Amino acid sequence: MTLTPEMLLIVCPLALLAGFIDAIAGGGGMISLPAYYLAGLPPALASGTNKLSAMMGTTLATVNFARAGKLAFKVGVPAAAGAFVASALGALLMVSLPPRVVQILVLACIPVAAVFTLRGRKRRAPPKERTLAATRLISLAIGLGVGFYDGLIGPGTGTFLILLFLQVFAMEEVRASGTAKLVNLASNVAALVSLICTGDVLYLLGLPAGLCAMLGAALGSRLTIRRGAGVVRAVMLVVLGLLLAKMLWDVLG
């Protein structure tokens, strides 16, 4: 597929915004993946290119959270292992589906993911002390389920992880966000490898978009570490509304 200046103008600013939002509250894929659709990429190529730029942004955010001591490794590592395997399988299944089916699936999941992102996130009271084996098993199950969704669909993965870590492990919110980045990174890498093997990555678009996502992730992760995770919901709602309206027009029209 030939890269055009219009593609860069559409994708790069939204990739920056997606990286910023994703570093704070997850859900950046709800902005970045539709952006690739708006730029004219078919679903498989859009997903692969999105995984490249998202992986670059998530890597930087993960490093920032780790440096700040905001990663729960005993939860994050097993979940990341499960997400790595399941995401690769989900990506391979996505490539085998008709493009129209994938686009409609993404369209259907965006509003659901948006609801989870925009709703208030309250932590539960600390659960009873679990054994290390139980913690690892639960974390692995979370990684398998959310990782498969990430490889197949994508948008909202980081938000679902944060919600699960808040509810299941009663994590502090910033630590839940940081741990989600580690799992999301593993999921992105696995899906990206699968989609590279199928030839579904547009590097000339994904790399500059990834640099923009890294800038957004740097700003968002620093803001989260310092002030918390609720500062971008209003902006996110506006962007989601515009993108969802455009996608509905494309699909129904």
More confident residue, 204 or 33: 204
What is the model's pLDDT at position 127?
Answer: 62
The pLDDT of residue 193 is above 70 = yes
More confident residue, 200 or 1: 200
DSSP 132-155: HHHHHHHHHHHHHHHHHHHHHT-T
Which tens digit of pLDDT belongs to each residue from 106-133?
Answer: 777 777 766 765 665 555 555 667 788 8
SS3 at position 215: helix
- Percent pLDDT > 70 in the chain is 83
The pLDDT of residue 234 is above 70 = no
Which tens digit of pLDDT belongs to each residue from 203-226?
Answer: 999 999 999 999 999 998 888 888
CB burial of residue 222 (10 Å; 0-12, 13-18, 19+): middle
More confident residue, 238 or 252: 252
| 19-33, 115-129, 144-158, 160-174: least confidently modelled range | 115-129
SS3 at position 59: helix
Q: Residues 27-35: what's their mean pLDDT? A: 85
Q: Residues 192-212: what's their mean pLDDT? A: 95
More confident residue, 238 or 148: 148
Which tens digit of pLDDT belongs to each residue from 165-176?
Answer: 988 998 888 898
Compute the mean pLDDT over every residue in the chain, rounded to the nearest whole number: 85
- Chain-centroid distance of CA 224 in Å reads 16
- Helices (DSSP H) in the chain: which residue ranges? 5-25, 29-38, 43-67, 73-96, 99-118, 132-152, 157-169, 173-197, 203-227, 233-252
pLDDT-derived band of residue 232, with 50, 70 and 90 as boundaries?
A: very low
More confident residue, 159 or 179: 179
What is the model's pLDDT at position 210?
Answer: 97
What is the model's pLDDT at position 129?
Answer: 73
What is the model's pLDDT at position 214?
Answer: 97
Q: What is the DSSP letter of 229?
A: S
| 16-30, 57-71, 184-198: least confidently modelled range | 16-30
What is the model's pLDDT at position 166?
Answer: 85
What is the model's pLDDT at position 144?
Answer: 97
Other beta carbons within 10 angstroms of residue 197's beta carbon come to 14
The span from the first CA to the last CA of the chain, in angstroms, equals 24
More confident residue, 44 or 209: 209
